[in-house]
Structure 1
Amino acid sequence: MKKRPWLLYAIITTTFWGVWGALIEIPEKAGFPATLGYSVWALTMIIPATIALSLVGWKLESDRKSIFLGLVIGFTGAGGQLILFQALRSGPAYLVFPFISLSPVVTILLSYIFLKERASVRGWLGIVLALIAIPLLSYQSATNNGDSGYLWIVLSLIVFLAWGFQAYVMKFANKTMKAESIFFYMTLTGILLIPVALLMTDFSQPINWGFKGPYLTAMIQILNSIGALMLVFAFRYGKAMIVSPMTNALAPVITIVISLIIYQVIPQPVIIAGMVLAIVSAFLLAIEEE
């Protein structure tokens, strides 16, 4: 771990995101909309952002380049989440999720071309296995609900490109900025987009304002926020083409295992195959030489 600090941060990220993924549907099923969940998440980002900045003496990069890169990372990440909400309203989730889950492809290509990142044969094998595992882990049974035309394809493509580009810029920005500053701008943009999330919320429907609403959501979303901060640190020390597919493949495995324990639902064979591939790929990427 001392020789590969990125691996420690990547493991923390996947663990926190895995637990978050297993629990986040609890408040949603209890009547607290995902769009309001986004608003709560944006506010929980303030906690790790404040702690991170305090540890570096409140030294925030505020030059034009740093502000620009920070805002790009923030808006592509948080903005992509809001666009995803709309994509799921207009298209089938069983097609949307596998499509956008392949966003690490964008990160890998950009990092290979512009950052000149390279991997060994073992590393490339891990990357390929991760890219196969990710859509398998996102598999959902086909339904006819929500399919209306081709708008969802355009929206999903935007999210796919945005999240892949975000990870690349995050690595690029880490060369000239502190990770703490990057996360500050991610927090700022997330908060700035809260009004958009509120406009997307159907307040005519019953909303659970009790404990299982915003309060439980905050307790769960803080896991997402901490995971996001750890991801920035993972990109600081590790290769984007390694960190991105690894975290995207391994977090769903943890989510599925926890969901299996909580809800006692056996995953479909496709998902089990994805879990096996994800675990193998994570091992290969973890032992990849820097």
Structure 2
Amino acid sequence: MTASSSSGRAWLFNALATVVLWGIWGAFSGLSSEHGFPETLVYCVWALTMIPPALVVLAQSGWKLDRSPRAIAYGAAVGLLGAGGQMVLFYAVTRGPAYLIFPIISLSPVVTIALSFLFMGERTGKLGILGIVLALMALPTFDFAPTGGAAESASWLIPALVVMACWGVQAYFMKSANHIMSAESIFFYMMLTGLLLMPVAYAMTDFSKPINLGADGPWLAAAIQVLNAIGALTLVFAFRYGKAIIVAPLTNAGAPLATALISLAILGVVPGTLKIIGIILALTASLLLAIEPDTVDASAEPVTI
């Protein structure tokens, strides 16, 4: 997980670890709420599971934390976008199928690439352009619910789009932040902002309904959410050792699609033809975005907040 920077494959090892960990996490992320543990409290458990990886990261850096106003601003932006998207995701997975929600989220690199194109002067090649076109084509195919009509579809589609936007913008700021602060500091602020939003999630909890506090409640949530936290830690090292324009699409696209495949395999669900087309388009788009060669101008300066 913390392979030496002298290893040219350290970034790939950590990026693939993130894909696997987040893929498994996504497939089971809705189990806790299905067992009577509300998604708002699942968020609180997730925020707490971020603490151990944050301590590990800081220990590895000699407990050095970037504290400049600019670093704090970038850290807060990355953390709030990530934690905010996480909170919306917990809502979405209780109202829609993971095998459709996560392919939509996998298109977040489109947002990252668009922002990087406009504000960082980054360019992509033919494969990247084709990936963006296919990604945009995939989005409308998810707006059709097999039952319940448009209202039921919107109950999970809109939150999924919000998560996609949040994580796409977060990746852009994470790329920018790596120019001016350490990966350890970025992760620490991700953890801190997640904790700061805990009172909001707690206040949103409906305590008038029964809450499962047994083994398949908070403890099941912790077992699932720790996969997310460790995946975030390996993502930090992937960004440290690798190029952000490669790491971001690979992890943001690969993990949700892994979730979709795991969910389909476990649940044995066969979606309609239109949704199958959408999943294939999203998978192809994500793969093209991940393999597109790096065309970043290394001299480009990140845009300040």
Same fold (TM over 0.5): yes
Q: Which residue of 2 aligns with 1:170?
A: 174
Conserved 8 A contact 1:90-1:146: no
> Percent identity, aligned pairs only?
54
Q: Within the alignment, does 1:191 sit opposite 2:195 as a pair?
A: yes
Give the structure 2 partner of residue 70 of structure 1. Answer: 75
**Superimposed CA distance per residue, residues 186-207 of structure 1 (whole angstroms, 9 cap, x where no aligned partner):** 0001011101001111111111
Is residue 206 of structure 1 aligned with residue 210 of structure 2?
yes
Q: Which runs of 5+ in 2 are unaligned?
A: 1-6, 295-305
Structure-2 residue corresponding to 1:289: 293
Distance 2:188 2:141 in 1: 33
Change (3 A) 1:246 1:94: closer
Is this contact kept in 1: 2:249–2:290, CA < 8 A?
no
- The answer for the alignment partner of 1:231 in structure 2 is 235
Is 1:129 aligned with 2:115?
no
The number of equivalent residue pairs is 288
In structure 2, what is the Cα distance between the partners aligned to 1:248 and 1:270?
Answer: 23
Which stretch shows the higher mean deviation, 230-239 or 15-24?
Answer: 230-239
Structure 1 alignment gaps of length 5 or more: none
Do residues 108 (structure 1) and 108 (structure 2) align? no
The residue number in structure 2 matching 1:269 is 273
Q: Distance in 2 between matches of 1:211 and 1:111?
A: 44
Letter in 1 for 2:14: Y
Aligned to 1:61: 66
Amino acid aligned to 2:128: G
Matched, 1:32 2:42: no
SS of 1:18's equivalent in the other structure is helix
Q: Return the letter of the residue paired with 2:42.
A: G
The equivalent position to 2:222 in structure 1, one of 218, 222, 234, is: 218
Question: What secondary structure does 2:118 align onto?
Answer: helix
Cα deviation, residue 8, structure 1: 3.7
Deviation at 1:171, TM superposition (A): 0.5
Report the Cα offset of residue 74 of structure 1: 0.8
Q: Partners of 1:95 and 1:276 in 2: how far apart?
A: 11
* 1:289 shift after superposition: 2.6
Separation of aligned partners in 2, 1:139 and 1:145: 7
Shift of 1:280: 3.6
C-alpha change, 1:268 and 1:96, in structure 2 (3 Å) is closer
CA distance 1:81–1:259, change in 2 (3 Å):
closer
TM-score by length of 1: 0.81
CA deviation string 1:133-185 (max 9, x = no partner): 567579754536977x99x96x8776554333221111100111111110100
How far 1:63 moved relative to its partner? Answer: 1.4
CA contact (8 A) 2:102 2:259 kept: no
Say whether residues 1:259 and 2:263 are aligned partners.
yes
Output the amino acid matched with 1:265. Answer: V
Q: CA shift at 1:256, angstroms?
A: 2.5
The normalised TM-score by structure 2 is 0.77
CA–CA distance in structure 2, aligned partners of residues 257 and 94 of structure 1: 7
Task: Tell me the equivalent position of 2:301.
Answer: none
For residue 39 of structure 1, what is the amino acid of its counterpart?
C
